[in-house]
């Protein structure tokens, strides 16, 4: 009778690869694919801050909106969320600015840049509905700390499309300064932007809210234009979207954004943390791609 805990020809401590098949021979060790730990999913499950990784929120806001109350709309509350999650910096435009009060909203972002140096990447919003204001607003952008431009086609004046001539000076300025442009897009606006994408090759374009509509067209733009990136924030969070984009070969052209303070940074980050994609693809989407798109090295 065998003793408990032992097998014939093997003690409990004998490794499987050392089991004797016959004298002088050992069994070959079966090749086993060892899955590398996914630091992103592990951090999400544990609720811990992500350390040692580049995390950039390419689409964020602060300020009050006209449609519903926002409980924590300030630069201070946004940075507190960033600190909890491990985000190095967030790219911010003012909610007031995109809804028509560019001068007041941009001043709030400029204050945030000063209050939290290195943590707020400012997107300037230009009052395209009033073309006589555009030149002065652009002229002061760099001195105030802005490093990009945010456009929202129905902000300053409802119905003003991206192919309206009032946008020309804005995109020409971004091209001259080699700035990124974050464009609010929900599908149809892509056609309005295409001529600008071709005309201004020094602009890096971040097309917001992929998954909202016309998914294949977003993906086509990302494939065909080297300066185009697609950005993820979306309240509806379509299941499998991130996996679909990576499987389509676009892991180098997707950037993560949260749409904070409209949406919560943690929940939007979770869409990437728990996506069924390799950890290296998550690393690109959560920060490395944004470095390139934003021109921050």
pLDDT, residue 2, reads 40
Lookup result for tokens 């709309």: 73
pLDDT, residue 99, reads 86
Q: Which 3 state secondary structure label does DSSP give 123?
A: strand
Q: What DSSP string runs through 39-58? A: HHHHHHHHTPPP-SS--EEE
Token reading at 170: 């804005």
Longest dimension (CA), the chain: 97
pTM across the whole model: 0.86
Token reading at 231: 């950005």
Give per-residue pLDDT as tens, 189-218. Answer: 999 999 999 999 999 999 999 999 999 999
DSSP H or E run through 222: helix 215-224
Q: Is 224 buried (19+), middle (13-18) or exposed (0-12) by CB count in 10 A?
A: exposed
Lookup result for tokens 């056609």: 191
Q: Supply angle C-alpha 7, 8, 11, rounded to 5.
A: 55
Give per-residue pLDDT as tens, 91-136. Answer: 999 999 988 889 999 999 999 999 999 999 999 999 998 999 999 9
Which residue ranges form the domains of the chain, and what is each CATH number?
A: 39-294 (3.20.20.140)
């Amino acid at each position: 009778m065998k003793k408990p805990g032992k097998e014939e020809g093997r003690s409990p401590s004998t490794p499987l690869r050392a089991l004797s098949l016959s004298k002088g021979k050992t069994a070959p060790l079966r090749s086993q694919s060892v899955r590398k730990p996914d630091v992103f999913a592990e951090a999400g499950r544990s609720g811990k801050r992500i350390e040692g990784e580049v995390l950039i929120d390419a689409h964020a806001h602060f300020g009050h909106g006209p449609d519903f109350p926002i409980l924590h709309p300030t630069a201070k509350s946004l940075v507190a969320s960033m600190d909890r999650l491990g985000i190095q910096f967030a790219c911010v435009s003012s909610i007031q600015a995109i809804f028509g009060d560019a001068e007041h909203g941009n001043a709030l972002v400029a204050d945030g840049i000063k209050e939290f140096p290195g943590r707020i990447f400012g997107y300037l919003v230009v009052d395209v509905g009033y073309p006589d204001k555009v030149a002065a607003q652009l002229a002061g952008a760099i001195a105030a700390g802005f490093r990009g431009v945010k456009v929202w086609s129905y902000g300053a004046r409802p119905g003003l499309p991206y192919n309206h001539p009032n946008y020309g000076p804005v995109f020409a300025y971004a091209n001259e300064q080699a700035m990124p442009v974050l464009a609010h897009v929900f599908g149809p606006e892509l056609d309005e932007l295409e001529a600008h994408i071709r005309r201004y090759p020094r602009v890096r374009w971040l097309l917001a809210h992929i998954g909202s509509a016309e998914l294949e067209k977003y993906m086509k733009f990302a494939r065909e234009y080297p300066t185009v990136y697609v950005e993820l924030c979306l309240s509806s969070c379509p299941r499998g979207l991130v996996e679909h984009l990576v499987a389509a070969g676009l892991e180098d052209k997707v950037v993560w954004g949260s749409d904070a303070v409209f949406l919560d940074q943690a929940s939007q980050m979770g869409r990437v943390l728990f996506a069924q994609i390799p950890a290296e693809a998550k690393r690109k989407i959560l920060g490395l791609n944004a470095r390139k798109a934003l021109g921050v090295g």
